[in-house]
Amino acid sequence: MGILSYTNVIPKDLMALFTRTESLKILRQLEMGSRYFDIRPLISGGVYWTGHYSEKLGARELMLLKHRFVVTEPEADNLSLLHLSRFIGSGTAAVLIVVEAPSHITLGNYGDKGFYLPSQLNVYNEHSNTNDCVGMVQDQVQKMQKFMRTSDKRLFLISWTLTQQPPEFTHEDFLPPNTLKGFDKLNDWQQRNKTIRQLAYSANKALWKDLLPNTSHVAFPNIMYIDFMESRNFVALAMAINDKLLGDTV
């Protein structure tokens, strides 16, 4: 989430410390090189919101390549088997939206016309659920190496993100007459925990040092999840991984 536009009772600048995972809007993230987004939409009060909510809302995955594109049956059975040239090239761009929704929701007439089910672009994605950078690095690298030794045909997503420990307060703590009590709890939490931006700074520094050296033609990520993508250096990293794969196979 790059912009925090609504909170119930907690000031936006404070809420952003433990909810914001990006500082740039979608367009700027695209300009930085990002092509895969995890967006969780919700319509509330007639207004379209995106962000991270409680688990009961579920996650809706969106994969954004560039613009709109249509793939029809039987090609759509497994999009990962298609060459990239089927989507982009010669001035053509593409957007693929992979919708992870409850079973009672169907894609209807939108199915296979830019909107697809997770089974059509199946991705292995298991985050480490820790705020410890060393632990996350070890866990993700081990998962990558183990996954690539299997016959699993899914795309491998390496989740190079740290999970902030949730604050121990509720929005009721900020309602009168408990407002000051709520801010005391928030201040105490801030003293004991890093913000998502601070965690991302540690994780992103480790990409070059700990991910790149551990990639080869038999162990590599297809997709990288990162927080606070504020530099084109991540594109250079992706290209360095690609170059390393080609070098290993020559």
Residues 6 or more apart whose Cβ sits within 8 Å of residue 6: 49
Say if 29 falls within a structural domain.
no
Residues 99 and 2 in one domain: no
Examine the domain organization and report whether 220 and 113 are in the same domain.
Answer: no
Torsion angle of the four alpha carbons 173, 47, 54, 134, in this order, in degrees rounded to the nearest 10: -100
Q: Is there a single domain that holds both residue 69 and residue 136?
A: no
Q: Between 11 and 89, whose confidence is greater?
A: 89
Range of the domain at 230: 1-24+122-249
* Average pLDDT of span 89-109: 83
Last residue of a domain, one of 121, 146, 175: 121
Residues 108, 129 within the same domain: no
Express each pLDDT in 32-59 by its tens digit: 988 888 877 777 777 777 765 544 433 3
Q: Residue 196: is its pLDDT beyond 80? A: yes
pTM passes above 0.85:
no
133 and 57 housed in the same domain: no
Residue 218 CB contacts under 8 Å (≥ 6 apart), including other chains: 148, 149
pLDDT of residue 98: 87
Number of domains observed in the structure of the chain:
2
> What are the pLDDT digits (tens) for 117-147?
888 888 999 999 999 999 999 999 999 999 9
User: Is 96 found in the same domain as 128?
Assistant: no
Quick: pLDDT tens for 165-186. 777 777 777 778 877 777 787 7
Contacts of residue 250, Cβ cutoff 8 Å, sequence gap at least 6: none
Higher per-residue pLDDT: 61 or 238: 238
- Residues of the chain with pLDDT > 90: what percent? 34
What confidence score (pLDDT) does residue 128 get? 96
Interatomic CA distance for residues 180 and 177, integer angstroms: 8
Q: Which residue has the tokens 């162990």?
A: 219
Backbone angles phi, psi at 125, to 5 degrees: -145, 105
